Amino acid sequence: MVTIKELAEKPELFTSGHRACAGCGPAIALRYIMKALRGPTIVTEATGCMEVVSTIYPYTSWKVPWVHTAFETAAANASGIEAAVKALKRKNRLKYEHVDVIALAGDGGTYDIGIQALSGAAERGHDFLYVLYDNEGYMNTGIQRSGGTPYGASTTTSPAGTVIPGKTEYKKPIAEIMLAHEIPYVATASIGYWTDVITKVQKGLEAEGPAFLHLFAPCPRGWRSDTAKTVEIARLAVETCMFPLWEAVDGECNLSPQSKAIALKPDRKKPVADYLKMQRRFSHLFAPKFQHVVDEIQTDVDKRWDRLLKKCNVSSPAKTHD
Amino acid sequence: MTVKLEQQVIPLNGDEAVALAVKQSDVDVVAAYPITPQTIIVEKFSEYVANGEVDTEFVCVESEHSALAASLTASLTGARAFTATASAGLALMHEMVYVTAGCRAPVVMAVTNRALSAPINIHCDHSDAMAERDSGWIQIWAENAQETYDSIIQAFRIAEHKDLLTPVMINLDGFFLSHTLENVKVLPDEEVKKFVRTREFPQVTDTEGKQVPFKLDPNNPLTLGPLDLPDYYFEHKRQQEEAMHVAPKIIKEVHDEYALLTGRSYGNAFVDAYRMEDAEIATVCLGSAAGTTKTVVDYLRSQGVKAGVLRIRTFRPTPVEDIIKCLEGVKAIAVMDRSNSVGADGGPLFHEIRHVLYGTRSHPPVVNYIYGLGGRDMPQKTIHSIYKDLYEIASTGKVKHFVQFAGVRD
């Protein structure tokens, strides 16, 4: 496991000067990811917040070769880069022993418009790491709902009205979908835990074949949360089991330490309301009229958590609080 | 012209000719998705891969959108990249067609021209490629399988030229060329490899002021495809136009060098003017229709009619000077469009030819025939009647209809 001292000595490959908002979770995500590189790397990124804030011509925050082409193309672009590296290597036209390929995309570029290309690239078995930085909405275009937006969240295309309490659908289980592709590495991580993020990026790069990392990254602008609380919220998502941390190496699922600790001591599992209350995108749920939605979210989280425990072969002692 | 080179004659259809040319051109990455009538290209190439006849990385993607997205980044990584499509596939690629040109990625793509839905139709017309005419790609249109083979080989040299870095689309008529067997003269593998050379990369200035090769190279990191706001976007788009001004010189050089090697040339590389020297009436067309039209022209000439046909080979960049030179003295011109710009009073080729001729002194009358949509055959009879109309226009100076459909039932 990497130490903070080692980390400090690593070069910043995603540099300051980018134009992300104060408290931006995805910007933290990128800095961690870039700290985990192990050698020559090419990064491709889908259209989205992080592409926009980091590459306004003629400036760039990237100290690695980086390419953006469109919104839905992160995985297809990675396929092309990986194929080129393989072919050039075979023909002795590449001076590197190995080149890692990383595809970055937000939730819109992954759950929605990019899922076809992602599924195709995973099926073809390209050797690359795909990192989904999930800020649960189309934040770049002004906070619209995506397939990754959680139930009950108010966005500009799923607004909390007088009749409808925000988004009426649950988050698509994207990591499970990728797990079903039977690729060598799938994991979830939260920017609240830097060692876990970096370890998982490293494992994803080391895996031979497609690796998928679902990285939870709060967006204060879209979530209407305090810019100073981004990391706290990212941890609360894990502590409430809204976003449990796990990884699957060759299909075998295991809880990561932070979630395992909760599984072993269920008293540590915090109520979802603690998490929801910190974000004004959920504030309407605390009006008496929509209070039932909070209960529904809790029920859903409990159900999914139980299912995950089974999948990870963890028998959790009975919890003492409700 | 004496050609020392030993060339084998083998029976190939247009798609097979494409696949063979790609196989011989030392291509690093082929990313493609099957669609009729392009399928044979992908199938044939898969066979080469399966039999170990190529060391190309073949990426059999899940859609045409990804086919071009993958070809594009493969190209930016430094690979020689090729893809092929048709019709709906090209339409699905549309976004990436522009992105590829804008990223200055020298991808070569074969388009086996086919009608666009709806109604769904798998046969030839030019609606697919015409929808991409403003995208920034060089467009070359072949008349037969031989020209298709030759043009694919030339395309890599053109696209990858360091002063150009512009993708090239080679168009071949669906079925008429893609599925029709022809005797094709092919070069030995090593001659093609020598001709296409290995890719060279122009040097560009990175953000630290260092000169680095224009590609994704870990030791010399570049940020490609960045966000370009109103303060720079316009200049970058103008650079694409400027590249198109450099293109003719490169297209010509490559065409002429290839002609020297093989003994085969296609007009002056831009237009193929057939019996146009003293022509009084002429048609203008793209692709395989030129073959049939040339036969009709020969007959008319034997009857003393001064007829000719101008085939546009390089449609992008538009060979303005050549078009003017060939058509200026002609008394009546019919532009043949195998696609329609619905509601625009004529097809796209018509608009462009008439636009080019507008400023000329003689200002000849130009009429338009929309023909062959969805694979409708254009027999000699139809072409004869078009020349008959032209003869009347030339004699009377009067035009009854500027835009008509040829070969359609009422």
What is the complex's ipTM, to 2 decimals? 0.97
Q: What are phi and psi of B259, to 5 degrees?
A: -65, -40
* B103 close to A (CB below 8 A): yes
**Interchain contact, B74 vs A83, CB within 8 Å:** yes
pLDDT for res B363: 82
pLDDT for res B359: 83
**Interchain contact, B207 vs A60, CB within 8 Å:** yes
For residue A79, the chain B residues in CB contact (below 8 A) are: 31, 59, 61, 66, 70, 73
Rounded (5°) CA angle B217-A25-B73: 25
pLDDT for res A1: 72
**Which of A40, A75, A93 has the CB atom closest to B218's CB atom?**
A40
**Which of A69, A90, A120 has the CB atom closest to B225's CB atom?**
A69
Q: Is A127's pLDDT higher than 70? A: yes
pLDDT for res A315: 86
Band (pLDDT 50/70/90 cuts) for residue A320 is low
Give how far A89 is from chain B: nearest CA, Å.
10
* Percent of chain A with pLDDT strictly greater than 90: 95
**Interchain contact, B55 vs A67, CB within 8 Å:** no
Residue A227 inside a domain? The answer is yes
B276: tokens are 């146009």
Residue A319 inside a domain? The answer is no
Total count of residues recorded for chain B = 410
For residue B70, the chain A residues in CB contact (below 8 A) are: 76-77, 79-80, 83
Name the amino acid, one letter, at B307. Answer: A
**Which of B31, B65, B221 has the CB atom closest to A80's CB atom?**
B31
What's A82's domain CATH number?
3.40.50.970
Residue A239 inside a domain? The answer is yes
Which CA distances in Å does A263 have to A253, A309, A316, B107?
A: 14, 8, 5, 52
Collapsed DSSP state (helix, strand, coil) of residue A213? strand
pLDDT tens digit sequence for A139-159:
999 999 999 999 999 999 999
- Cβ–Cβ under 8 Å, residues B177 and B170: no
* B69 close to A (CB below 8 A): yes
Collapsed DSSP state (helix, strand, coil) of residue B46? helix
**Which of B62, B70, B78 has the CB atom closest to A77's CB atom?**
B70
The total number of structural domains in chain A stands at: 1
- β-bridge partners, B281: B307, B332
Average pLDDT, chain A: 96
Going residue by residue through chain B, which has 410 residues, state the pLDDT in tens, using 9 for 90 and above.
566 789 999 999 999 999 999 999 999 999 999 999 999 999 999 999 999 999 999 999 999 999 999 999 999 999 999 999 999 999 999 999 999 999 999 999 999 999 999 999 999 999 999 999 999 999 999 999 999 999 999 999 999 999 999 999 999 999 999 999 999 999 999 999 999 999 999 999 999 999 999 999 999 999 999 999 999 999 999 999 999 999 999 999 999 999 999 999 999 999 999 999 999 999 999 999 999 999 999 999 999 999 999 999 999 999 999 999 999 999 999 999 999 999 999 999 999 999 999 988 888 899 999 999 999 999 999 999 999 999 999 999 999 999 999 999 99
For residue B81, the chain A residues in CB contact (below 8 A) are: 80, 84
**Interchain contact, A76 vs B65, CB within 8 Å:** yes
pLDDT for res A318: 67
Residue A193 inside a domain? The answer is yes
**Interchain contact, B227 vs A51, CB within 8 Å:** yes
**Interchain contact, B28 vs A88, CB within 8 Å:** yes
Q: The pTM is what?
A: 0.97
**Interchain contact, A79 vs B65, CB within 8 Å:** no
- Which chain A residue is nearest to residue B103, measuring alpha carbons? A69
* B71 close to A (CB below 8 A): yes
Residues 259-288 of B with CB under 8 A from A: none
Residue A322 inside a domain? The answer is no
* B77 close to A (CB below 8 A): yes
Least confidently predicted of A241-255, A306-320, B167-181, B240-254: A306-320
Give how far B373 is from chain A: nearest CA, Å.
32
Residue A320 inside a domain? The answer is no
What radius of gyration, in Å, describes the C-alpha atoms of chain A?
Answer: 19
Question: In whole angstroms, what separates CA B165 from the centre of its chain?
Answer: 16
Residue whose token pair is 């890719």: B199
Give how far A134 is from chain B: nearest CA, Å.
21
pLDDT for res B361: 84
Cα torsion A139, A141, A144, A149 to 10°: value is -30
**Interchain contact, B69 vs A41, CB within 8 Å:** no
Domains (ranges, CATH) in chain B? 8-202+231-262 (3.40.50.970), 271-406 (3.40.50.920)
Residue A316 inside a domain? The answer is no
Cα torsion B38, B44, B46, B48 to 10°: value is -150
* B142 close to A (CB below 8 A): no
A237: tokens are 């998502």
Domain that holds residue A275: 4-311
As a whole number of angstroms, the distance between CA B326 and CA B272 comes to 10
As a whole number of angstroms, the distance between CA A214 and CA B28 comes to 32
Rounded (5°) CA angle B170-B175-B178: 45
**Interchain contact, A56 vs B78, CB within 8 Å:** no
- Which chain A residue is nearest to residue B31, measuring alpha carbons? A80
pLDDT for res A135: 98
**Which of B56, B221, B223 has the CB atom closest to A87's CB atom?**
B56
**If residue B185 lies in a helix (H) or strand (E), which one and from where to where?**
strand B182-186
Which CA distances in Å does A128 have to A55, A185, A242, B225?
A: 22, 10, 28, 20
